[in-house]
Structure 1
Amino acid sequence: MGKGGSIMKLECISMKGSGKSNEDAYVIQQVKHVYAVIDGITSLIPYENAAGQTGGAIAAELVKKQLEAIPEDAVLHDYMEMINEALREQMRQSGIDLEKKEALWGAACAVVRVKDAQIEYAQLGDCMIFAVYDDDMVRPLTHTQVSHLEQVALAKWEEGINEGFCTRTELYERCMGILIHNRYQANGPGGYGVLNGDVACRDFIEYGRINRVGVKALVLATDGLFMPRALGGAQPEWEETVLPIVHKGLQRYTDELISLENYDPECIHYIRFKKSDDKTGMILYLH
């Protein structure tokens, strides 16, 4: 292995969902061995800059640029805190009311640094990192910090379908109150972590280090790539998302997921909040 954990092969994809722009971003910094996926979260109070970018897209781009400039000796989770401060400063300069949670731009993020013997990582929100071993064992290094709140909204969505609602618009309106309530739990007690300029963010950053022995691939993904739950079915295991990505490749997995979404535009057969979320993923093959 070369110095600093060179990787053998990389596959990356980033696709716009049903929104008007892709609010995801990614980082491939091969010299520094840093890789990340980022999911921009738009403020509840609509905001666009002169170029027509939403707050979520601006936040994702800021996180991307900061991670691309990461110093060699930076500690990942400390650096995430600095990025959060930079985001706060950019919002302040844009005249955003930092006291209003509904006005804040945000981003979920998952980042890895691949070294010779170890893999370091840090994460916020619902972006995920998986280590896949030689025997196809899938090890999630992260947890979707939002899932305990989302389950409540998804249950109400499913209840609506069972009561006979059959359009996404009606179902979304039905769940809007929960979704807004969830947004207020960002970086709060019982909530979830997100880069949104709030200093409390530091308490929610998850990070760690694993050794590389037996790891054949790392998979990074934003939540748009997760296999959705079928109506009346159980929540899919992570293997149902990660192993097809590794075996089929990211492009084919994504194509198949998009055709599943296209067959179910009203989100009736597969429980989700929008026909198609932005999708960003990466496979790092380590040997």
Structure 2
Amino acid sequence: MKISTVYTKGNREINEDAIVVDTDQNIFAVIDGATGLGGLPGSLASGIVKEYLEKNTSIPLIEKVKEGNKQLLAAAEKNIGTSLDQIPKYKRSSCGLAAIQIHLDEVGKVNSLDYVSAGDCMLFLEFKDGSIRQITYDHIDRLDTVAIQLMQNTWEKVLKEKSIDSFSPEQLKEKQKELRGNVQHILQENRNKLNTIDGYGIIDGDHEAMKFFEYGRIPLISVNKILLLSDGLKIHTERTSTKQETWLTTAQSAFKSGLTELEKRIIKDEESDPACFYFPRLKQHDDKSGILIVL
């Protein structure tokens, strides 16, 4: 196997993402930590899940994730000084993930993989004929879109009075920060939907989380490459574009040109748009994690 990775910090002081590249156990994962809104850091959740995935134990992949979730419960309660059910969902340290464990047959050839998915981390397979299969689904994107659209609507009102070119780079960043603050209530409502049928599955220490994970085994028939991505590596759609960039177009780019080129493209767009106006999104730079495996 040939393995390449991307692991880059976004806007925050530290990278709240984590990646696992464990070639001894053939376990690979991207983990997207999410800091509670006014609460516990996302690095708490992502770090614990990484630790438990890397533990050299013979238990199945899903059981490793379950153990990590249990440990996050203990760590969260210790940090906050109360039981988890007393911590509002929007304040909890949480993380999404796309994790796999590759299995070999009796002669050492790649045979199948187990996977576990939560949140908006994504898993794709590319077949030898170039076709792509998307294994996971991003349940968070539809929720974030509500907040992003409100920010865009506010920008349009602002720009009726003042051209965007009249803002300095610092003023653009400050305006974006202000608009992000204006949608905080929507983001809080979205977080409160975690691990519910109206929201999305996420690792937050709650035993209910396990009901909302997706997991299983896939035979790697004619599979050539495997791709794992956190949402920071999704290509942004330009606001005036008639073509909607999707997770599938992102995967096509990564499989064709590699993770480094994908990251360069995304960062170039982000650097050109500190206001998050031309490429609508919630923040200028998100943490970026990706693993590309060529079998």
TM-score, normalised by the number of residues in structure 1: 0.89
Deviations 1:50-101 (A, max 9, x none): xxxxx211211111111000523x2222332221111001112223442222
Q: Where does structure 2 lack aligned partners over 5 or more consecutive residues?
A: 105-110, 165-174
1:151 corresponding residue in structure 2? 145
Q: Distance in 2 between matches of 1:209 and 1:156?
A: 40
Which structure 2 residues correspond to residues 11-50 of structure 1 after superposition, within 5 A? 11-47=4-40
Q: Distance in 2 between matches of 1:80 and 1:225?
A: 23
Q: Distance in 1 between matches of 2:119 and 2:56?
A: 20
Q: Distance in 1 between matches of 2:101 and 2:269?
A: 33
Maintained 8 Å contact 1:37/1:110: yes
Question: Residues 70 and 191 from structure 1, CA distance in 2 versus in 1: closer, same or farther, beyond 3 angstroms?
Answer: farther
Maintained 8 Å contact 2:236/2:266: no
Which structure 2 residues correspond to residues 1-287 of structure 1 after superposition, within 5 A? 8-47=1-40, 55-72=41-58, 74-97=59-82, 98=84, 99-100=86-87, 101-116=89-104, 117-164=111-158, 167-233=175-241, 234-286=243-295
SS in 1 for 2:282: coil
- What stretches of structure 1 move > 6 A for 4+ residues in a row? none
1:232 Cα deviation from its structure 2 partner: 4.3
Question: Residues 115 and 43 from structure 1, CA distance in 2 versus in 1: closer, same or farther, beyond 3 angstroms?
Answer: same
Q: Distance in 2 between matches of 1:273 and 1:79?
A: 32
2:108 corresponding residue in structure 1? none
Maintained 8 Å contact 1:158/1:231: no
Maintained 8 Å contact 1:96/1:104: no
Q: Distance in 2 between matches of 1:149 and 1:260?
A: 23
Letter in 2 for 1:169: K
1:3 corresponding residue in structure 2? none
Deviations 1:14-36 (A, max 9, x none): 00011111101000111111100
SS in 1 for 2:158: coil
Q: Distance in 2 between matches of 1:75 and 1:158?
A: 44
Which segment is superposed worse, 88-97 or 172-181? 88-97
Q: Distance in 1 between matches of 2:283 and 2:35?
A: 14
1:224 Cα deviation from its structure 2 partner: 0.3
Maintained 8 Å contact 1:128/1:142: yes
Maintained 8 Å contact 1:136/1:243: no
Q: Distance in 1 between matches of 2:176 and 2:91?
A: 25
SS in 1 for 2:80: coil
Q: Distance in 2 between matches of 1:136 and 1:239?
A: 13
1:50 corresponding residue in structure 2? none
1:160 Cα deviation from its structure 2 partner: 2.2
Q: Where does structure 1 lack aligned partners over 5 or more consecutive residues?
A: 1-7, 48-54
Letter in 1 for 2:258: G
Q: Distance in 2 between matches of 1:26 and 1:96?
A: 29
**Identity of aligned pairs, percent?**
30
